[in-house]
Structure 1
Amino acid sequence: MSSVKQVQVTFDCAEPERVARFWCEVLGYVAPPPPEGFATWDDFHDSLPPEDRGAWFACSDPTGVGPRLYFQRVPEGKVAKNRVHLDVRAGTGLVGAERLAVLEAECARLVALGAVHVRTLYADEDNESCIVMQDVEGNEFCLD
């Protein structure tokens, strides 16, 4: 039986580069260099037919540990809650007030980047606190 070698997470979106660059800031990911023969991504996009310009963008973990994120333009807008979402693990190993303070600080940083704070789920007898958010195109994710 073969094993999975890599995982890529793909986002359908309206503005791939904008969403990708948001996630680069969230996760500390990097955009790849422009394709060979092009000095910039703008140069590459300008070489394409108008309908293909900005159709996709990607970013990756510079350490090679996390999955590659791929963003592709689709014609339809988001109409329902995501069936799958990312958990951004900002509070791993922390509990109580210390965890909540770290999550709230990260939430404030991400809101400044264009994210939306949806709601804070406070710790109870079964779960620690987490914060539900949306990225720049309304895709849900959690600060956990």
Structure 2
Amino acid sequence: MTREIQITFDCGDPAALAAFWAEALGYRLQAPPQGFESWEQALDAMGVPPERRNDASAVVDPEGSGPRLFFQRVLEGKQAKNRVHLDVRAAPGLAGDSRMAALEAEAERLVSRGAVRVQRHEPAPPLGAGHIVMTDPEGNEFCLD
């Protein structure tokens, strides 16, 4: 039996981090519940006070094939290196200089949206195709692969 998965991020600003990952992955913010035209309308109906309206956010793959990403507010900041991270496949099918150029272009795009570039790993055949280590705006590591 297969299962759907959701990837959950603990963070300080769920709305901002959800917006970053939607942009990074080509995802979209999850639509409000059925019967509501906006999240504000839904949260009003649910009685969620204004100070709690950024406690959670989610983004989804518009094609429905990728996992849902869920962002939940936590009080503590990031403490250590991630043990699990996302690999953003920014250069599928490319190799060598063209691959690294595509990764560099994506790194620049994401830096302009709040990511931080950490380290570039050059191609090391036969197994290492090259990648760039990044962090999202809250310091969560991910790789451009």
Q: TM-score, normalised by structure 2?
A: 0.90
1:27 aligns with 2:25: yes
What is the percent sequence identity of the aligned residues? 54
User: In the alignment, which residue of structure 1 is the partner of 2:143?
Assistant: 142
Q: Could you tell me which runs of 5 or more consecutive residues in structure 2 were left unpaired when the two chains were aligned.
A: none
3-state SS of the aligned residue for 1:72?
Answer: strand
- 1:37 positional shift: 5.2
Give the whole-Å Cα distance in 1 for the aligned partners of 2:42 and 2:104.
39
- 1:39 positional shift: 3.7
3-state SS of the aligned residue for 1:128?
Answer: coil
User: In the alignment, which residue of structure 2 is the partner of 1:122?
Assistant: 122
User: In the alignment, which residue of structure 2 is the partner of 1:9?
Assistant: 7
In terms of mean alpha carbon deviation, does 92-101 or 42-51 score higher?
A: 42-51
Give the whole-Å Cα distance in 1 for the aligned partners of 2:109 and 2:43.
30
Give the whole-Å Cα distance in 2 for the aligned partners of 1:51 and 1:105.
38
Given that residues 45 and 54 in structure 1 are in contact (C-alpha distance below 8 angstroms), is that contact kept between their aligned partners in structure 2?
no
Q: Could you tell me which runs of 5 or more consecutive residues in structure 1 were left unpaired when the two chains were aligned.
A: none
In terms of mean alpha carbon deviation, does 77-86 or 40-49 score higher?
A: 40-49
| Cα distance per residue 1:46-81 (max 9 Å; x no partner) | 541355321110010011110000001111100101
Give the whole-Å Cα distance in 2 for the aligned partners of 1:42 and 1:118.
37
Give the whole-Å Cα distance in 2 for the aligned partners of 1:78 and 1:101.
31
3-state SS of the aligned residue for 2:28?
Answer: coil
- 1:10 positional shift: 0.5
3-state SS of the aligned residue for 1:108?
Answer: helix
User: In the alignment, which residue of structure 1 is the partner of 2:134?
Assistant: 133
- 1:41 positional shift: 2.6
**1:40-55 aligned within 5 A:** 40-45=38-43, 47-50=47-50, 52-55=52-55
RMSD (CA atoms): 1.6
User: In the alignment, which residue of structure 1 is the partner of 2:77?
Assistant: 77
| Cα distance per residue 1:5-27 (max 9 Å; x no partner) | 31110000011111011000000
3-state SS of the aligned residue for 1:71?
Answer: strand
Which residue type is aligned with residue 132 of structure 2?
I
Give the whole-Å Cα distance in 1 for the aligned partners of 2:123 and 2:16.
33
3-state SS of the aligned residue for 1:124?
Answer: coil
- Size of the aligned set, in residue pairs, is 142
User: In the alignment, which residue of structure 2 is the partner of 1:93?
Assistant: 93
3-state SS of the aligned residue for 1:77?
Answer: coil
3-state SS of the aligned residue for 2:87?
Answer: strand
Q: TM-score, normalised by structure 1?
A: 0.91
